[in-house]
């Protein structure tokens, strides 16, 4: 962990081949960059090389546009997809909610205590119910109703607000509307959803009811990036809790709330720390 | 736990109504039975009352045929489905295997160490491979090949062996054949299968491959009673283990093996202890 | 779960002996009480019988003072310790905090969303820091400084506030002061603490630092009733989370916060549901 | 995972400083080594750099004695402690047991099924009881009685057997004797023990009894390298299972057996895969 220091992060994926690690580390080192963290992985089934490289920007003797040009050349030779990120400044998070407050409260209290290093310029909801909660925290709350007939206009309003505030990524904190493909493609791998089941079991509506009806002994929650396919995007984190015959659907819901907020919070944490690399609809979570 | 003592066990389910607990406990008590364990549960969604009642047979002043007559009368008034079981003698377990040895070994070693209070009159397999393993433990091994064209004859042979040995229940310890409905209905709620996924996710063949392809962060195993519907019978026990991007399918299989044997062993334990009550394709596991 | 209905609850412990279940259930039934929940357990090591009995007060044809007289007589014959509790009205919870906000926030958000059926007449703290948080929720905040020289006066003030508000039970939500025996004995089995380790490992101060230094692979949290012995009271709930060499002490603290709030919330839930019976410095948690 | 290929592995620890990753990877690369796996970690509290580097020996153009000389020179400049290991041939494992069979059975069945890539030249026991089990697997069983008065002679016999067979590492599979410091120092970081508690809670004898008496809600097991200090060596792996008031000590023992064998098997796996680096009485487990 190098929370304090300012660092640059490279996320790389490419066909596996010889010399990837040494070429990349040498490139950084030769330009004065001290590597503080390197994690790589080879997906042998897919023959894909994946790496996260983090170095201290202090002493790095190259501007970022020059870096993009020079590193880009090498990346092209290796067939790399790559992204350059930075540990600073704080990213801007936009939160979407409907009526359930537990995930929202959890994020806001992590933010307020300083645990979660983001700025939160707004909360957007299709209902007015949680305006009071949000106002307690001094964050603007935008009530934008959504229904089938007005969905395009609603999404246009949402996008305008997000873009004006230069929001970096979105969290759907139990937001009960489906975003259109036109919306999601503008925030590819930047919209995190929490689904209240152990995906791929019980996608869609009312997973706790389905789980109860099936008589499972464990329930789960799944945080994932949102894609055009409902509940089918790259999974970031999952966790579970035991249930028994003595738990009603209501108990599933109660126990599940705690799962949901923890599993969502972990996904947000990984995202903010630039620890997630997406490839082939899966995630690598670097540690 | 009253492992040492000889006890009788009633497993009861019926529509919820007043007076069920007091009537039943009074019935046992009035006949000299000391109740050593009572657990009950009401499924409020289904309005079903479920109970397990265990009492010491020492001092119980009524024969079992007379009991069936008298208790049967009361049970009829309440609309009860009920079963009478005993903590003795040891039940007889028939094991079905194919080529994987880990669950088989695990059961046999529990049996040999005295941990698992059953008799094992036979192991049946559609392959000859594990004959050596089983012979180490001095248990008869029956190799009965199975394929589509001879399945009826194969099952007839299996059933004959099981019936001659008066086998009480079966365990499919990674048995890679599907039993016909005609077979399974003869051992209703008495065939325990282990499926190597967190059901209802990934039913059927190659669940570890499917899980890896989907990019899940947790894999599971499920033990359940076998019904005519593949992997859809009442779930007895489930457990999970974390995986990450760094685990290949091969790692999933390796980690999964440990899950499978533990989750199967727990199901066998509950079954042998008469702790399981099945209703509406779900199980109540009394503690 | 009979959340809606008004019910009475008996928590009983006594030497194990014959006839306990039938005598007790008959007693309730004969007075018009419909038993909606019964769970019992025998601690065979200690030869102690433990039971929780819940019945619908509707139709129960006996006043509570008469009940205490009549049931008290029977209880005496069996040598029972017993308590009568009710599912209504909501109990009053007093919260103690110092400077950490995560457990406090979590409790207040559960309260606000209606998940936690208690009244919270006050938060007491030895620091002023969290006054703002609490005021967001419209709950009185009492700043009562504590140090060695003024501890008796501080505790006297605390007790006066609690007694005036008729607080039923206390939660120490990371309260960093040790309560005196004179204080704790007034709320026996009614003060819930959260300790940030897997007790009995790492009692006392700085458990995350000790855990990190020892190189454990799992960290835990423990909620327990407070007794005169520090971190040695009856354990209510524990849970754990995996850590690895890549987690710093700071990461332990971050991961631990989530554990702490969940483990504390579960303990509060069990307490409020009258599910906890304490005997021999242990708890029975009825389900 | 590169199970098939033959690879060399460097395990390195040293004071953190600039240039460690690039110097090391360049060293391997310049000599024709293709790095297939690199994982590194910095312990910021201790300011220690730790790395595991694995490369394909095919194409590596340097003999191992020459490697030791050249790499040794560089290592000295950085103040590195380092070890060179190989993914081949299979290491030789010596197993120590007393009377409990569950861990022994589990290891032998993993070995027999081909899951565990080791040779097992012998099992040594202070009791004759498990000779039959071991003989089933065709492995030599040495019964060497141990008691206070003959301990030095017993250990001398054990060491002679181990050395003659060129055993690489030892597993104490519930071996109920304490090895002398003179013994353990000959197999530093090469003796794996399984302790049936969540260390550091409940070290020493009868941990399940102590855990039951304390009323914990979770029990654990810990595998660790053996040092001269009882149950205080570097922890390799831990896991837990939930218990409740309804579990007797006997149930703790039964549930714990499954934990013990899984937690021990994982430690053996990491050791055999050369994934463990020990420093400051802690382990880094590379993934």
Of A236, A240, A244, which has the smallest distance from its Cβ to B285's Cβ?
A244
Residues 6+ positions from B185 with CB-CB distance below 8 Å: B228
Catalytic annotation, pick one of C231, C239, C247, C258? C231
Q: Which domains does chain B have, with CATH numbers?
A: 7-86 (3.30.70.260), 92-285 (3.40.50.170)
User: How many angstroms separate the CA of residue D130 from the nearest CA in chain B?
Assistant: 10
Q: Is the pLDDT of residue C134 over 90?
A: yes
A4 touches chain C (CB under 8 A): no
ipTM value = 0.94
* pLDDT (tens digit per residue) in D131-165: 988 998 999 999 999 999 999 999 999 999 999 99
**Catalytic-residue membership of B231:** yes
Of D41, D237, D239, which has the smallest distance from its Cβ to C245's Cβ?
D41
**If you write DSSP's letter for every residue of C61-129 in order, what string do you get?**
-S-HHHHHHHHHHHHHHHT-EEEEEES-SPPEEEEEE-S--HHHHHHHHHHHTT-S--EEEEEEESSST
Q: What's the pLDDT score for residue A4?
A: 56
Mean pLDDT (chain A, rounded):
95
Short-list C134, C129, C76, CA closest to C109: C134
Q: Which residue has the higher pLDDT, A219 or B59?
A: A219
User: How many angstroms separate the CA of residue A190 from the nearest CA in chain B?
Assistant: 18
Helix axes B64-78, B20-30, angle to 10 degrees: 160
Contact B251 D1 (CB under 8 A): yes
Across the range C50-66, mean pLDDT stands at: 94
Q: What's the pLDDT score for residue A10?
A: 97
Query: C53 falls in which pLDDT band (50, 70, 90)?
Result: very high
pTM of the model: 0.96
Mean pLDDT (chain C, rounded):
95
Q: What's the pLDDT score for residue A45?
A: 85
The residues facing D8 across adjacent strands are D55, D86
Contact A37 D42 (CB under 8 A): yes
Q: Is the pLDDT of residue C4 over 60?
A: no
Across the A:C interface, residue pairs with CB atoms under 8 Å apart total 51
Short-list D218, D249, B39, B287, CA closest to C45: D249
Q: Is the pLDDT of residue B260 over 90?
A: yes
Q: Is the pLDDT of residue A2 over 50?
A: no
User: What subunits make at least 3 CB pairs under 8 angstroms with D?
Assistant: A, B, C
For residues A285 and A224, give the distance between their C-alpha atoms in angstroms, rounded to a whole number: 12
Contact A113 C136 (CB under 8 A): no
User: How many angstroms separate the CA of residue A273 from the nearest CA in chain C?
Assistant: 13
User: Residue B161 in 3-state DSSP?
Assistant: helix
Q: What's the pLDDT score for residue B136?
A: 86
User: What subunits make at least 3 CB pairs under 8 angstroms with C?
Assistant: A, B, D
Across the range D105-123, mean pLDDT stands at: 96
Collect all residues of chain D within an 8 Å Cβ-Cβ radius of residue A25: 21-22, 25-26
Across the range B40-53, mean pLDDT stands at: 92
* pLDDT (tens digit per residue) in A221-259: 999 999 999 999 999 999 999 999 999 999 999 999 999
Q: Is the pLDDT of residue D5 over 80?
A: no
Across the range B239-253, mean pLDDT stands at: 96
Taking residue B269's Cβ as centre, other Cβ atoms within 10 Å add up to 18
Q: What's the pLDDT score for residue D136?
A: 86
* pLDDT (tens digit per residue) in B117-164: 999 999 999 999 999 889 989 999 999 999 999 999 999 999 999 999
Q: What's the pLDDT score for residue D4?
A: 56
Q: What's the pLDDT score for residue A190?
A: 98
Q: Is the pLDDT of residue B1 over 50?
A: no
Alpha helices in B79-148 (DSSP H): 102-112, 131-136
Of C202, C244, C285, which has the smallest distance from its Cβ to D285's Cβ?
C244
* pLDDT (tens digit per residue) in D24-66: 999 999 999 989 899 999 998 889 999 999 999 999 999 999 9
Short-list B75, B16, B9, B2, CA closest to B279: B16
Of C44, C212, C239, which has the smallest distance from its Cβ to D248's Cβ?
C44
Query: D168 falls in which pLDDT band (50, 70, 90)?
Result: very high
Q: What's the pLDDT score for residue A1?
A: 37
* pLDDT (tens digit per residue) in C150-197: 999 999 999 999 999 999 999 999 999 999 999 999 999 999 999 999
Query: B44 falls in which pLDDT band (50, 70, 90)?
Result: confident
Short-list B241, B196, B194, CA closest to B218: B241
Collect all residues of chain A within an 8 Å Cβ-Cβ radius of residue D18: 34
Across the range A108-134, mean pLDDT stands at: 96
Helix axes D249-272, D207-214, angle to 10 degrees: 130
A61 touches chain B (CB under 8 A): no
Q: Is the pLDDT of residue B235 over 90?
A: yes
* D284: closest chain C residue by CA: C245
Contact D38 A38 (CB under 8 A): yes
Q: Extract the tokens encoding D54.
A: 């694995």
Percent of chain B with pLDDT over 90: 93
Q: Which residue has the higher pLDDT, A5 or B74?
A: B74
Percent of chain A with pLDDT over 70: 99
C4 touches chain A (CB under 8 A): no
Contact B44 C18 (CB under 8 A): no
Catalytic annotation, pick one of A56, A106, A231, A247? A231
Q: Extract the tokens encoding C27.
A: 């007693």
Q: What's the pLDDT score for residue C1?
A: 37
Interface of B with C in 106-125 (CB under 8 A): none
Collect all residues of chain C within an 8 Å Cβ-Cβ radius of residue B25: 21-22, 25-26
Q: What's the pLDDT score for residue B4?
A: 56
Query: A133 falls in which pLDDT band (50, 70, 90)?
Result: confident
């Amino acid at each position: 962990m190098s929370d304090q220091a300012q660092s640059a992060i490279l996320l790389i994926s490419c066909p596996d081949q010889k010399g990837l690690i040494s070429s990349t580390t040498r490139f950084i080192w030769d330009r004065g960059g001290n590597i503080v963290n390197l994690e790589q992985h080879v997906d042998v089934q897919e023959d894909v090389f994946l790496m996260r490289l983090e170095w201290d920007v202090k002493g790095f003797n190259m501007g970022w546009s020059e870096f993009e040009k020079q590193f880009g050349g090498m990346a092209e030779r290796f067939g790399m997809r790559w992204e350059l990120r930075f540990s600073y400044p704080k990213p801007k998070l936009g939160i979407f909610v409907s009526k359930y407050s537990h995930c929202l409260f959890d994020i806001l209290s992590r933010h307020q205590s300083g645990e979660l290093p983001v700025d939160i310029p707004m909360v957007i909801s299709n209902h007015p119910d949680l305006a009071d909660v949000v106002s307690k925290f001094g964050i603007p709350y935008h009530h934008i109703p959504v229904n089938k007939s007005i969905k395009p206009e609603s999404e246009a309003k949402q996008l305008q607000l997000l873009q004006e505030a230069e929001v970096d990524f979105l969290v759907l904190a139990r937001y009960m509307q489906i975003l259109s493909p036109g919306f999601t493609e503008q925030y590819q791998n930047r919209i995190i959803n929490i689904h209240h089941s152990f995906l791929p079991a019980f996608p869609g509506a009312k997973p706790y009811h389905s789980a109860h009806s099936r008589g499972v002994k464990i329930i789960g929650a799944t945080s994932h990036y949102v894609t055009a396919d409902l509940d089918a995007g790259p999974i970031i984190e999952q966790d579970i809790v035991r249930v028994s015959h003595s738990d009603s659907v209501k108990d599933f819901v109660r126990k599940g709330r705690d799962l949901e907020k923890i599993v969502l919070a972990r996904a947000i944490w990984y995202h903010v720390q630039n620890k997630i690399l997406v490839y082939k609809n899966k995630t690598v979570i670097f540690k």
